[in-house]
Amino acid sequence: MLLTEGDREAIMAAIRDAEQRTRGQIVCVLARSSSDYSAVPVQWAAVLALIVPWPLIYLTNLSVQRIFLLQIAAFILAVVILSWSALRIALVPRAVRRARAHRAAIEQFHLRGLANTKHRCGVLIFASMAEHYARIIADQGIAEKTKRADWQDAVDALTRHMHEKQIAAGFVAAIERCGAVLAAQAPPADPPDHLPDRIFVLS
């Protein structure tokens, strides 16, 4: 379990406290992984299976049928081994992992209604464990008043705590810092927007 019930309540309380000082809305999303990377084991296993026959052809007297069977066995064994989640993700280039995580963050921003608030001051705090990725996405109404550096302190706080396995504390710290930016740039206004004061955990 990534978060206990107490962790979720602490995050909810932090969101409510931050939103009392702003017209902005904060939504948190935590993903175990931004993709299952299901094709990765098959791709690497296929490459390995293509390599296997050549040394057998040149260095042994095995029949074509035996080499073909060994090639199939190598492919199946590689798929099984490389399907182990930690190894599977390690084989994905870092740029690809970041791209998948970024796409997942954008999808969650729209899925959670942050692009549809009246004041356009929604903020998503997103983290993906497998990719070691964290990002804050602000809607147009607040993004045009801020710089990327304004949110970096929140990202740094989140990632620092996550490296120490303190996920809830990281989100609370990020919420507090985002709340300070929102309070300064988007003070309360009527009618307020209402999005769920919770963290969404994606398995």
User: How many domains are contained in the chain?
Assistant: 2
The confidence score (pLDDT) of residue 36 equals 87
- Do 58 and 137 lie in one domain? The reply is no
pTM reported for the whole predicted model: 0.85
Q: What is the CATH number of the domain that holds 117?
A: 3.10.310.50
Query: Quick one: what percent of the chain has pLDDT higher than 70?
Result: 100
- Do 30 and 119 lie in one domain? The reply is yes
- Do 130 and 99 lie in one domain? The reply is yes
Residue 189 scores a pLDDT above 90? no
User: What is the rounded radius of gyration, in angstroms, for the C-alpha atoms of the chain?
Assistant: 23
145-166, pLDDT tens digit by residue? 999 899 999 999 999 999 999 9
58-114, pLDDT tens digit by residue? 899 999 999 999 999 999 999 999 998 888 888 999 999 999 999 999 999 999 999
Residue 83 lies in domain = 39-90
The confidence score (pLDDT) of residue 106 equals 97
